[in-house]
Structure 1
Amino acid sequence: MKRVVVTGLGTINPLGIDVPTFWKNSLAGKSATGTITRFDASKFRTQIAAEIKEFDPQIYLDRNEIKRSDLFTQYALYSASQALEDSGLDLAAMDPFDIGVIWGVGQGGMETFEKEVEGYVKGNYIPRFSPFFIPRLIVNMASGMISMKFGLQGINFTAVSACATSNTAIMDAFNYIRLGKAKVFVTGGSEAPITPASVGGFSAMKAMSSRNDDPLTASRPFDKERDGFVMGEGAGALILEEYEHAKKRGAKIYAEIAGASMTSDAYNITSPHPEGLGSTKAMQLALKEAKLDVSKLDYLNLHATSTPLGDIAELKAVDKTFNGSKNLWVSATKSMTGHLLGAAGAIEAILAIKSINDHIITPTVNIENLDPEIPKNIQIVVNEPLEKKVKTAMSNAFGFGGHNSTVVFREA
């Protein structure tokens, strides 16, 4: 099997529209949650989200790209552009069939769907929908438009596994390179779910926090008073490359992917297995593939959405997997960014990789009173970053439907 390394990173998310800003604000423990400004959410139980404030697509994308794409695709194009530039790849010198795109999207063009259907119902343009309605809506358009923008003609598809989606996409790209099917992949995920239907739907499920009077502290994984997740938006992109190809061109290598795994809870459409059986197995299999003893993992970026059931189930799985390892520290990015659904795994993988590069772990913020159900052996990085020699890092991502996806990175 061929070795696979990460040679480029890019992101746009509520904490920053590039990787350096995202990293800086994550280390500072900033919360991006506020009252929703994208639309009037006053009728909903949940009225808060982690919105991106600084993105103007007209600055970064051309007119046709904007016209033909929903916001989730615009986020994908922007983050992929960053990652490819960061990688230093000379695309013109490569065979375009050696470069693929595997992108993750959970929901797709929710904003497009809502606006078109609303316009139809109100009679604004009966009987004609926009000819761009379907292309803007469908989830595979992000991967398709990335390939078109950069002329990438290799394997191209979109992975969908709810909130495990980005890790699924990364794992697929990892495996295709190992098998010799491509030399390079643009991978990661994007999501633009801060819309009336999406927020209203999750709000009706009582899955999201309703701490509307104190949004900055609403996302609080592991805290006794947590009451649900905060919706976020954005994208994360990684350039995965076959090691010898990267070495030959003198590429900057951020980390190596050592292992990855997926399992299913086969338990409930929205709730995780209460004892974390599926997530335990996913972590165990990823570690086995990485040939990494549990005592050697330095850092785990948890899925940790701030839901009462999910946080405890994941930490039970961590406790079973790592047997109280004193070397392992964990933290939860979503306490700062909110939950980016299909894009969550990608931005969290970026922080896991940066922890290896800079030997510092980003904190979990908003913890005031730890839930007493948390296993005593778990070492959580709370409120302040932790300086630590990080050689290996793991990133978890789980999704509705019982999907569990885990990726392990190591120092290259």
Structure 2
Amino acid sequence: MTTPISIISFDSISSLGSNENSIWSAYLDDKHRISTKTINEETTFVAHLSEENNALIEEIKNSDNKYKNLDKTVLFAIFSARNAVKKAGWKSNDNFGINFGSSRGATHLFEKYHEEFLNKGVSSTLSSPTTTLGNISSWVAHDLQTEGPEISHSITCSTALHSLLNGIAWINSGMSDKFLVGGSEAPLTDFTIAQMQALKVYSKETEGYPCKAFDLNKTKNTMVLGEGAAAVCLEKGITKNAIAKIEGIGYATEILKHNTSVTTDAECFQKSMKMATQNVNLEEIDAIVMHAPGTIKGDLSEVNAIKKVFCNKTPFLTTNKWKLGHTFGASGLLSFELALLMLQHQQAIQVPFAATQEQPKKLRKILVNAVGFGGNAVSILVSK
């Protein structure tokens, strides 16, 4: 990273809510925001939007005839992008760049159109353009009426933080001064959840918290899927209206032994964290927002990697998936949002069932981790 990058605004929608105050309030209690839904004729844990927030998404869907055929993934992205850009005070003629990513993309529509094809032998006219991954950023750009570069991509569960990396890269290249980055996911569908159940990672808890992310003593996998989107506005340099700044970036990929595997000590995380923190004293890092998906191996390998990098001076550790589920491609920026909120409010969020940790006296620098299938790790160091 050669050019300082300012974070001007952020916004999200998830089971925690859709405005900064309600989201922070949700983090301050020990209650999860996971409920149940009938999937494939079984009662399954999911973290979905509230009725109130679903109504906000419906408003967008019904505001334009062209939007009525869009997938939830696109509508979530439009919602968070609109609000982030409004907070930043950006105008359409600023021609800022856009990079919205998603792990699965238009899952709801894809499953709907595929079922239609299996039943009727034909496909609907709009089945292709509305299910391509690139239509997320394209529709966000259309909605915001900006003519800057637009990118969509999927790098599984580290997608949103890769969006952040892309925005930083464009700004550092001198090709753009402003970039809107985001991740969006609407994975609460029959087939997507069946896929996670087939991997035997999905939660079947019968008591307590459905997702036990960062419980290092659990004997069962407890991943729960959630839906949502998050967006962040980035600007070149350190600006007066910055709420935080990017201080370091790191990324790495593991050589895999299995399609979903991560090594015992998460070598990819070790490399990405070392890269992100190479220009600071490790003792200056006050907290880490972990990826921690709620699986036995996933949680433990990340903690092992942290211990390898930080030795005996491990920062305060936290995660949010026990509360809002794993939102796949959006999860990295929802973790990033938690880091920004903790910096703003100077309070670290304790995972209620994890070992009690001493609150940092001051939160100055926070590291955020994300990793996806394929061993694609990203670490971002953010500071006040």
Give me the TM-score of the superposition, normalised by structure 2: 0.93
In structure 2, C-alpha distance between the alignment counterparts of 1:298 and 1:335, rounded to whole Å: 21
Question: Match for residue 319 of structure 1?
Answer: 307
| Secondary structure at the counterpart of residue 136 of structure 2 | helix
Question: Match for residue 338 of structure 2?
Answer: 351
Which of 204, 207, 211 is the equivalent residue of 2:201?
A: 207
Deviation at residue 161 of structure 1 after TM alignment: 1.1
The answer on 1:4 being equivalent to 2:43 is no
Mapping for residues 236-275 of structure 1, pairs under 5 Å: 236-243=230-237, 247=239, 250=240, 252-267=241-256, 268-275=258-265
Question: Match for residue 381 of structure 2?
Answer: 408
Shift of the 325–139 alpha-carbon distance from structure 1 to 2, 3 Å rule, reads same
| Secondary structure at the counterpart of residue 129 of structure 2 | helix
Does the 8 A contact of 1:109 with 1:139 survive in 2? yes
| Secondary structure at the counterpart of residue 298 of structure 1 | strand
In structure 1, C-alpha distance between the alignment counterparts of 2:159 and 2:132, rounded to whole Å: 15
Question: Match for residue 87 of structure 1?
Answer: 88
In structure 2, C-alpha distance between the alignment counterparts of 1:51 and 1:90, rounded to whole Å: 32
Question: Match for residue 187 of structure 1?
Answer: 181
Does the 8 A contact of 1:296 with 1:392 survive in 2? yes
In structure 2, C-alpha distance between the alignment counterparts of 1:104 and 1:183, rounded to whole Å: 20
Question: Match for residue 14 of structure 1?
Answer: 15
The answer on 1:218 being equivalent to 2:210 is yes
| More divergent stretch after superposition (310-319 vs 138-147) | 138-147
Deviation at residue 387 of structure 1 after TM alignment: 6.3
Mapping for residues 63-78 of structure 1, pairs under 5 Å: 63-78=64-79
Shift of the 65–255 alpha-carbon distance from structure 1 to 2, 3 Å rule, reads farther
Deviation at residue 380 of structure 1 after TM alignment: 4.9
Structure 1: state its 5+ residue gaps: 371-378
In structure 1, C-alpha distance between the alignment counterparts of 2:117 and 2:357, rounded to whole Å: 50
Question: Match for residue 111 of structure 1?
Answer: 108
Structure 2: state its 5+ residue gaps: none
How many residues are matched? Answer: 376
Does the 8 A contact of 2:214 with 2:351 survive in 1? no
Question: Match for residue 283 of structure 1?
Answer: 273
Question: Match for residue 175 of structure 1?
Answer: 169
Question: Match for residue 122 of structure 1?
Answer: 119
Deviation at residue 172 of structure 1 after TM alignment: 1.1
Query: Runs ≥4 in structure 1, deviation > 6 angstroms?
Result: none
Aligned-residue identity in percent: 23
In structure 1, C-alpha distance between the alignment counterparts of 2:269 and 2:108, rounded to whole Å: 32
Does the 8 A contact of 1:26 with 1:363 survive in 2? no
Q: CA RMSD in A?
A: 1.8
| Secondary structure at the counterpart of residue 312 of structure 2 | coil
Give me the TM-score of the superposition, normalised by structure 1: 0.87
The answer on 1:329 being equivalent to 2:330 is no
Supply the AA of the counterpart residue of 1:60. Answer: I
Supply the AA of the counterpart residue of 1:55. Answer: N
